[in-house]
């Protein structure tokens, strides 16, 4: 009976290995850095492509300066959910604390470059800086929502400056 348990455990282990290998091989492999454009691809059809990755040190430094100069006023959040009918957004701080905010016709939406957006352009998982107007005990109203990442410089300035 002891032998049966050993063979049973081995069979389960082997099945698990095959399942893991099958799962890993089924995952998508990322495309090559500069794949040839096939018919119907965004580049071939004229559709906008993703933002280019800086190729030189000068381009990388310019991109870093642009991120540093980005407006990081307001509180940093991750969008948890958006209710366009109720005009409400559930925001989550990096500490997992959530906050429900109201948006209205005066709320300004901006992208990473300061260009205007619409509420419909925002998605759950987007990182945003939000400037809010607090009216007593009522739900805060978002005056401005700017989509953008938390850069290392802003992170250090806000949380590690010692002040």
Judge whether residue 27 has pLDDT over 50. no
Cα–Cα distance measured from residue 112 to residue 93, given in angstroms and rounded to the nearest whole number: 19
Least confident of 23-27, 59-63, 79-83, 115-119: 23-27
Judge whether residue 17 has pLDDT over 60. no
- Per-residue pLDDT at 46: 53
Mean pLDDT of 4-14: 55
Judge whether residue 146 has pLDDT over 60. yes
Cα–Cα distance measured from residue 163 to residue 151, given in angstroms and rounded to the nearest whole number: 19
Where do the domains of the chain lie, and which CATH numbers do they carry?
Answer: 69-159 (2.40.50.320)
Please check whether residue 108 is in contact with residue 144, taking contact to mean a CB–CB distance below 8 angstroms. Answer: yes
- Per-residue pLDDT at 80: 96
Please check whether residue 71 is in contact with residue 146, taking contact to mean a CB–CB distance below 8 angstroms. Answer: yes
pLDDT band at 36; cut points 50, 70, 90: low
Q: Which of 12-16, 51-55, 71-75, 144-148 has the highest mean pLDDT?
A: 144-148
Higher-confidence residue: 129 or 135?
Answer: 129
- Of the candidates 154, 138, 66, 70, the one whose C-alpha atom is nearest the C-alpha of residue 104 is 138
Q: Is the dihedral of CA 73, 77, 82, 83 positive or negative?
A: negative
Judge whether residue 155 has pLDDT over 70. yes
Tell me the pLDDT tens digit for each residue of 40-99. Answer: 555 555 555 555 565 777 776 666 555 544 567 889 999 999 999 999 999 999 888 999
pLDDT band at 8; cut points 50, 70, 90: low
Percent of the chain surpassing pLDDT 90 = 37
């Amino acid at each position: 009976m002891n032998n049966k348990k050993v063979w049973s455990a081995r069979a389960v282990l082997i099945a698990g290995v095959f399942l893991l290998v099958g799962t890993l091989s089924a995952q998508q492999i990322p495309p090559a850095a500069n794949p040839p454009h096939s018919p119907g691809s965004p580049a071939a059809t004229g559709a906008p492509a993703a933002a280019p990755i800086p190729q030189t040190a000068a381009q990388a430094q310019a991109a870093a300066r642009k991120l540093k100069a980005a407006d990081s006023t307001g509180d940093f959040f991750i969008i948890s959910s958006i209710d366009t009918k109720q005009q409400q957004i559930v925001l989550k701080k990096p500490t997992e604390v959530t906050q429900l905010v109201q948006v209205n016709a005066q709320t300004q939406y901006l992208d990473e470059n300061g260009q205007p957006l619409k509420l419909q352009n925002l998605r759950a998982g987007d990182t945003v800086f939000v400037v809010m107007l607090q009216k007593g005990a009522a739900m805060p109203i978002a005056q401005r929502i700017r989509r953008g990442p938390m850069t290392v410089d802003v992170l250090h300035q806000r949380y590690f400056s010692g002040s």
